[in-house]
Amino acid sequence: MSFEELYGSAPEGTWAAPGRVNLIGEYTDFNDGFVMPLALPHTAVAQVSRRSDGVLRLYSADIEGGIVQLRTDELEPLTNTSWAAYPAGVVWALREAGHPVTGADIHLGSTVPTGAGLSSSAALEVVTALALNDLYELGLDCNQLALIAQRAENAFVGVPCGVMDQTASACCAEGHALHLDCRDHSIRQVPFDLAAQGLRLLVVDTRVKHALGDGAYAERRAGCEEGARILGVPALRDVPYEQLPDALAKLADPRVRGYVRHVVADNHRVARTVALLDAGDVRGVGPILTDGHASLRDDLLVSCEELDLVVASANAGGALGARMTGGGFGGSAIVLVEEVQAEAVSKAVTEAFAAAGHTAPRIFTATASAGARRLA
């Protein structure tokens, strides 16, 4: 159903916000660390009109069930377990922050694959936040919109995510990766035009999600906090890479030691990646990706058979480097390849999955695309 068919008139405007893949810097965001996502060409699109009567009407073209109708002054955190909690949470977070949002009619649709670790949830939140920001003339910048969207997901939906996904969706720029400091939220756009270098970044959606992942995120977070506490720093971001051996010697629990080693080393991998990109050496990033994967697999223990198989088969098939991206236990991996090798590497991965008896993966090219924007 179109916006007009649902709500009886044309929308005041149309907005888009992308999903993302993270190039490097995994599980570092909640450690006040560094990440480097890029926006995908896949977007959530919202058509929106204001209302002044406190009514919020939500519709997703991708979900059965028609319009969800709520009241802006009756929104309660953690009470709605449907998809509608994401956009409703944004309205709640805006109102909590004192912004006078008095209702809206919203029509959503998205091309971001859901549950594939590509942040379809952040895309949905950010597109809602940007539309309301424009219509209600709230004057929030992309960082502020990201924080509103993160608050919606943390406090209203109840998912304890860091700030990376929403910042990527809100702030990324076409042809660039986003260097984000998750402590002060400062950002820098780093040129990442792979086509100009004869390169390609493949996203391999394994199409699996292991139940193990549900509690694992919270456990890793707690382990990292424990590590920071023992080391006497506010967050693991404050452990310099050069002091990693000393820090590890102070940690008795092998699990915590692995988590600390991963986080400190991955922050360092982000810094090395930025330096290589600034120097124009994109190919040099390949081995850093593969190192990062080994660290996620062996130290943070968040990979799985399918993700490991993508990395092993892609590298054996001639890729420059590969790693899982996002939370792990399934979801997606990224593979850096020479353009001329892209087809052969895709084939190698697909054949390895078939030989192992796994469902065929979905493979597409990630072009660094624009962040959230108004379309009409």
Residues acting as catalytic residues: 165
CA 295 to chain centre: 19
Subset of residues 298 to 357 that bind ligand ADP, contact rule: CB under 6 A? none
Among 80, 119, 167, 273, binds ligand ADP (CB under 6 A): 119
The one of Mg ion, ligand ADP, none whose footprint includes residue 280, by CB under 5 to 8 A per kind, is: none
User: Measuring CA to CA, how many Å separate 58 from each of 68, 84, 139, 178, 326?
Assistant: 5, 7, 23, 31, 28
Least distance (Å) between residue 207 CB and Mg ion? 16
CB nearer ligand ADP, residue 127 or residue 247: 127
| Residue 124 binds to ligand ADP (criterion: CB under 6 A) | yes
Least distance (Å) between residue 79 CB and Mg ion? 19
Total number of residues that touch ligand ADP (CB under 6 A) = 16
Least distance (Å) between residue 256 CB and ligand ADP? 27
Subset of residues 18 to 77 that bind ligand ADP, contact rule: CB under 6 A? 60, 62-63
Per-residue tokens: 123: 């895309």
Subset of residues 89 to 118 that bind ligand ADP, contact rule: CB under 6 A? 108, 110, 114-118
Least distance (Å) between residue 302 CB and Mg ion? 15
339 vs 336: CA distance, rounded Å: 9
The one of ligand ADP, Mg ion, none whose footprint includes residue 33, by CB under 5 to 8 A per kind, is: none
CB nearer Mg ion, residue 110 or residue 121: 121
The one of Mg ion, ligand ADP, none whose footprint includes residue 152, by CB under 5 to 8 A per kind, is: none
- Window 66-85: contact mask with ligand ADP (x via CB under 6 A): -----------------x--
123 vs 44: CA distance, rounded Å: 6
CB nearer ligand ADP, residue 169 or residue 273: 169
The one of ligand ADP, Mg ion, none whose footprint includes residue 114, by CB under 5 to 8 A per kind, is: ligand ADP
| Residue 120 binds to ligand ADP (criterion: CB under 6 A) | yes
From 241, 121, 271, select the one nearest 181 (Cα to Cα). Answer: 271
**Residue 191 parent element (H or E):** strand 187-191
The label of the residue with tokens 């092993």 reads: 312
The one of Mg ion, ligand ADP, none whose footprint includes residue 22, by CB under 5 to 8 A per kind, is: none
User: Measuring CA to CA, how many Å separate 25 from each of 298, 304, 376?
Assistant: 16, 18, 34
140 vs 130: CA distance, rounded Å: 9
Least distance (Å) between residue 91 CB and Mg ion? 18
Rg (CA), the chain: 21
- Window 170-189: contact mask with ligand ADP (x via CB under 6 A): --------------------
The one of Mg ion, ligand ADP, none whose footprint includes residue 115, by CB under 5 to 8 A per kind, is: ligand ADP
CB nearer Mg ion, residue 3 or residue 83: 83
List, as one string, the DSSP characters of 83-132: TTHHHHHHHHHHHHTT-----EEEEEEE-SPTTSSS-HHHHHHHHHHHHH
Question: Are residues 33 and 237 in contact, defined by beta-carbon separation less than 8 angstroms?
Answer: yes
The one of Mg ion, ligand ADP, none whose footprint includes residue 190, by CB under 5 to 8 A per kind, is: none
CB nearer ligand ADP, residue 138 or residue 204: 204
239 vs 181: CA distance, rounded Å: 15
96 vs 149: CA distance, rounded Å: 12
Exposure string over 203-233, b if 16+ CB within 10 A, otherwise e: bbbbbbbbeebeebbeebbebbbbbbeebee
Least distance (Å) between residue 54 CB and Mg ion? 28
User: Measuring CA to CA, how many Å separate 123 from each of 87, 128, 328?
Assistant: 10, 9, 19
Closest residue to bound Mg ion by CB = 121
Residues engaged in binding Mg ion (CB under 5 A): 121
370 vs 366: CA distance, rounded Å: 12
Helix then strand count (H, E) for the chain reads 11, 13
Least distance (Å) between residue 147 CB and Mg ion? 16
- Give me the residues that bind ligand ADP (CB under 6 A), please: 60, 62-63, 83, 86, 108, 110, 114-121, 124
